[in-house]
Amino acid sequence: MGWLYHITTIGCAMNISDSQRLASRLNELGWSATNQRSQADLAILVTCGVRQSAEDRIYGLIKRIKQDNPQTAVALTGCLSYRPDIQAKIGQQVDYWFTINQLTELEQIIPSPQPASSLTHLHDYLQIKPLYTSKISALVPIGNGCDNFCSYCVVPYARGREKYRPADEIIAEVQNLLAADSQEITIIAQNVNSYRDPVSGLNFTGLLEQLDSLGNYWLRFATSHPKDMSDELIAFMGRSRNLIHHLHLPVQSGSDRILQLMNRRYTSDHYRQLIAAVRQVWPDVSLTTDIIVGFPGETDTDFQATAKLVTASGFDQVYIAQFSPRPGTAAAKLPDDVPTATKKQRAIDLDQLVKAGTLSNRQAQIGQTVEVLLEEQRGHKYFGRTNRNQQILLIPQTGNNYVLGQRYLAQVTAARNFSLAGQLL
Ligand code: SF4
C-alpha cells in the first residue's frame, strides 16, 4: 500500500468539520492528500445517515471507487459506521470501519507510514487540531452527540450522547483562527443550546459572551433546538457585537400532533413566540429552518398547519426533506403510511410557498446598504455573503481594489429567490 488518501464528505457541517480533523490526523501519521480519488491508496467516506438518499449515495460511491481503481482501499466512518445492518450489507467492500470517536486511535485501525508513538495522546477527537479548508471562514465544534432522541433521527445512536468541550479549549481555537485572520467563525454542535462546560458549568450564552469579546469578526452558531433556546440567549443576541443576524432554527412541522410524534417537545405556538422574540432583538433577522414532510400519520390537515406556519414565519430558506425511515429510530417502527407521491407533492407545494416568501423578503432589501464578506472572484464579478448569511453577487467599483476574505459595504440592487445582487461601495 502507498500512502495517498482522499476524503469524500457527505452531509452536515459537523461532518465537514470532522473531515478536517480526520485529514489532520492522517497527515500526522505520514499520509498525503490527493484530490484524484482514483489515484488514492485509501478512499475515506465520511457518511451521513439522516436520509435514505444519503445512504444510497454511499453504495454507488463504493462501487465507483472499486471500478476506477481496484487497488484503492475503502474506509468508512460517520453516521453509517455504527450500523450493523450496513456492515452486513457492504462489509465485504469496505476495508476499514471506524466511528468518528475512534479518530484518536486511528493508527490502530489503519496502517500508517509514521510511527504512532510520534502522536500526542488525546482523549477526545475534538482535541485534534483541524486542517481548515478555508482561510476566511471556519467551523468550530463545541461538542458532539445528542441527547434529544427526536423520533426520526439517527444522530444520538450514531454519535452517542452529548459531550462538550471545555470553554478554554474552544476559546483557544477561536483565538488562533482570529490571529490567522479568519473573518467568520461558526460554532457548531447538534444542539448548541445545551452546551455546558464540563469543568466550570458555563452555559451556551456564557460561552458566546466570551467568544464575542475576542475581536471584530462574524460569529454564528448552529444548530439550535427550539425547546432549549432561552430568553437569556435571545437577550444576549440583541447586545452582541459580532453575531451576524442569521438564525437557523429547525421547526420540522407546523402540526402539534406531528411534533409530538417527532418527540420535539415544543408546540408550533412556542416556535412562533420564539421567532417573535428573536425579531424583537434582530428585526432584520434572516431565519432559516428544516421541515420534514410525509412523517408517519401526517394528514392533509397536519400539512396545512405546516404550510400556514411557513407563510406566517417569513423564512429566508427552508430545507425540505421527505420522510424516510431510519433503521433503529422510534419513527421507523411507525407505519410509513404517507404515499411517496403525496410526500413529493407536499415538498413541491411547500417549496413554492417558500419561494414566494423568500423572493419578497429579498426584494425588500433592494436599495439597502449591507456588509458583505468577499469569498470568490470569477472574472470581473465577486461572490460573497451578507451579514445575514445571504448569498450575493457583487459588481466592483471601477478603480477600487478588493481583497478576498475581507469585508466591505455594498448596496443591494436586485433580488432572486435565494440570492441577491449588489454594487460594492
Ligand atoms: S436535536 Fe433531534 S434532530 Fe437534532 S441531532 Fe438531536 S436527535 Fe437529531
- In order of start, what are the domains of the chain with their CATH numbers? 4-118 (3.40.50.12160), 134-244 (3.30.750.210), 247-364 (3.30.750.200), 369-424 (2.40.50.140)
pLDDT of residue 11: 87
Task: Please state whether the peptide bond connecting residue 267 to the residue before it is cis, i.e. omega within 30 degrees of 0.
Answer: no
Closest by CA to 287, choosing from 251, 260, 332, 334, is 251
Judge whether 39 and 4 are in contact, CB under 8 Å.
Answer: yes
Three cell numbers at 223? 444548530
250 CA to centre of ligand 1 in angstroms:
10
DSSP 330: G
pLDDT of residue 81: 92
Gap between the Cα atoms of 167 and 251, Å rounded: 28
Identify the band that residue 1 occupies on the pLDDT scale cut at 50, 70 and 90: low
pLDDT over threshold 90, residue 195: yes
Ligand 1 atom nearest to 147, measured from its CA: 6
148 CA to centre of ligand 1 in angstroms:
6
Lowest mean pLDDT among 112-126, 373-387, 409-423: 112-126
Judge whether 176 and 195 are in contact, CB under 8 Å.
Answer: no
144 CA to centre of ligand 1 in angstroms:
11
Tell me the pLDDT tens digit for each residue of 82-96: 888 899 999 899 999
pLDDT over threshold 90, residue 114: no
pLDDT of residue 83: 87
Q: How many residues does the chain have?
A: 425
325 CA to centre of ligand 1 in angstroms:
15
Best mutation site among 147, 225, 295 for ligand 1, i.e. most ligand atoms within 8 A of its Cβ? 225
Three cell numbers at 410? 455594498
Q: How many C-beta atoms lie closer than 10 Å to residue 158's C-beta?
A: 23
Tell me the pLDDT tens digit for each residue of 129-157: 999 999 999 999 999 999 999 999 999 99
Residue with cell 468550530: 140
Best mutation site among 147, 150, 162 for ligand 1, i.e. most ligand atoms within 8 A of its Cβ? 150
Closest by CA to 4, choosing from 16, 29, 15, 19, is 29
pLDDT of residue 120: 77
Ligand 1 binding pocket (C-beta < 6 A) is 146, 148-150, 153, 155-156, 190-191, 225
Best mutation site among 148, 157, 260, 264 for ligand 1, i.e. most ligand atoms within 8 A of its Cβ? 148
Calculate mean pLDDT across residues 249-263: 98
305 CA to centre of ligand 1 in angstroms:
22
pLDDT over threshold 90, residue 346: yes
pLDDT over threshold 80, residue 390: yes
Q: In terms of pLDDT, which residue wins out, 31 or 11?
A: 31
Ligand 1 atom nearest to 154, measured from its CA: 8
37 CA to centre of ligand 1 in angstroms:
32
Identify the band that residue 287 occupies on the pLDDT scale cut at 50, 70 and 90: very high
Judge whether 142 and 187 are in contact, CB under 8 Å.
Answer: yes
Reduced to 3 states, what is the DSSP secondary structure of residue 52?
helix
pTM over 0.75, yes/no: yes
210-216: long-range pairs with CB below 8 Å, 24+: 210/167, 210/171, 211/170, 211/171, 211/174, 211/185, 211/187, 211/242, 212/240, 212/241, 212/242, 212/243, 214/171, 214/174, 214/175, 214/178, 215/178, 215/242, 216/241, 216/242
Q: Is 289 left (phi over 0), alpha (psi -120 to 50) or beta?
A: beta
Best mutation site among 14, 51, 161, 191 for ligand 1, i.e. most ligand atoms within 8 A of its Cβ? 191
pLDDT of residue 187: 98
pLDDT of residue 117: 74
Residue with cell 492522517: 26
Judge whether 251 and 226 are in contact, CB under 8 Å.
Answer: yes
* 421-to-140, 285, 370, 371, 418 alpha-carbon distances in Å: 29, 19, 11, 13, 11
Gap between the Cα atoms of 73 and 96, Å rounded: 8
pLDDT over threshold 90, residue 123: no
Three cell numbers at 108? 490502530
pLDDT of residue 116: 73
